[in-house]
Structure 1
Amino acid sequence: MKQRDGESYRPVVSSAHNKSSAVAAVEAALDAGVHPGREELRDAVRALLSELVRRAPGRTVEVRVPPYGAVQCGAGPRHTRGTPPNVVETDPVTWVLLATGRLSWPDALADGRVRASGHRADISAYIPF
């Protein structure tokens, strides 16, 4: 198969989180009504944050999921110093629920499980994956 300029030689594959055993383990734990293991939750959060960055490249919004990770994403003005003007912050379980489609953005905001500040902080166009 001949590769054209600018095209990947790799076939289209499913998103990173679909391959993550950590995401699957966290989903299984949540389905069983138990709190996921710390390592699996950490790895799932990081895999899902990586997928967000892949889907929404840029540095306009900072998404924080303490204590496991924080990323910058979204097209627009780049943030470089101090407190970013556009911030999304949530806990690890809520992030997994949002990113996998088990919780909607409006419900998470209404319940106070997500704190979003700034006029570009709405990342609902990029989730769930």
Structure 2
Amino acid sequence: MPPRPRARNYDPAKTRAAVAAQLRHVRDVVGGLDEERLAAPTRAGGRSVRELIARLPAEAAAADEDGRALAARCAELVVHSDDLAAATGLAVPYDRQALATAVRLLADGLAAKAPGGSVELRVPPFAVVQCVEGPRHTRGTPPNVVETDPLTWVRLAAGRIGWAEALESGEVTASGERADLAAHLPVLGGNGGDTAPGQV
């Protein structure tokens, strides 16, 4: 059995500030929504925009939460921000630190769910992790590489888009015979739930 990846440390103060900043972005967008848009369905378990807004944290985060718990809350907030954008057709800005935290937490979640060193997941500029059991890569260009952008990775990890769909659209590139992450996605709500938030 391959060793479990070492847990990343998340700075509580920085993560709390990122959550607060992302909440401000969301509130700026949803503050002027009309009834039709508030009633629109989202990708979040059939919830309406109104229901999804009600589930967002009312404040940045409790002061006693540790860095990992705050990072999980931040990842959920980024996922729901994307859900709101998709449901309303409005652009929701992303706080850079909030997006980075979500990407890193979800990449770490994949590495914990599918431990190993045969595939390298790259989500520039925020994360690179090795995952999936098999021959470990040690130097040079890895034989199995998956690369995507931050929002596509968040959507894949949260189950908002499927692996085949992301490959077909060109939002994900995958090279090498082991570079198929379909069996390990989504990260949220799957096995290894202690590494990422639950159902969102």
> Same fold per TM (> 0.5)?
yes
- Sequence identity percentage: 52
The answer for the alignment partner of 2:194 in structure 1 is none
For the pair 1:29 / 2:84, whether they are aligned, the reply is no
Contact in 2 for aligned 1:25/1:36 (Cα 8 Å): no
Contact in 2 for aligned 1:63/1:87 (Cα 8 Å): yes
The answer for the alignment partner of 1:61 in structure 2 is 119
Q: How does 1:7-86 map to 2 (within 5 A)?
A: 20-33=72-85, 34-86=92-144
RMSD: 1.7
Residue aligned with 2:128, SS: strand
Distance 2:162 2:176 in 1: 19
How high is the TM-score relative to the length of structure 2? 0.54
Q: Which portions of structure 1, spanning 4 or more consecutive aligned residues, are displaced by more than 6 angstroms?
A: none
Structure number having the greater strand percentage? 1
CA deviations on 1:19-72 (whole Å, 9 max, x unpaired) are 711111112221221132211110000100111011111100000000001000
Structure number having the greater helix percentage? 2
How high is the TM-score relative to the length of structure 1? 0.83
Alignment-mate amino acid for residue 102 of structure 1? R
Distance 1:45 1:67 in 2: 10
Structure 2: where are the runs of 5+ without partners? 1-67, 86-91, 188-200
Structure 1: where are the runs of 5+ without partners? 1-15
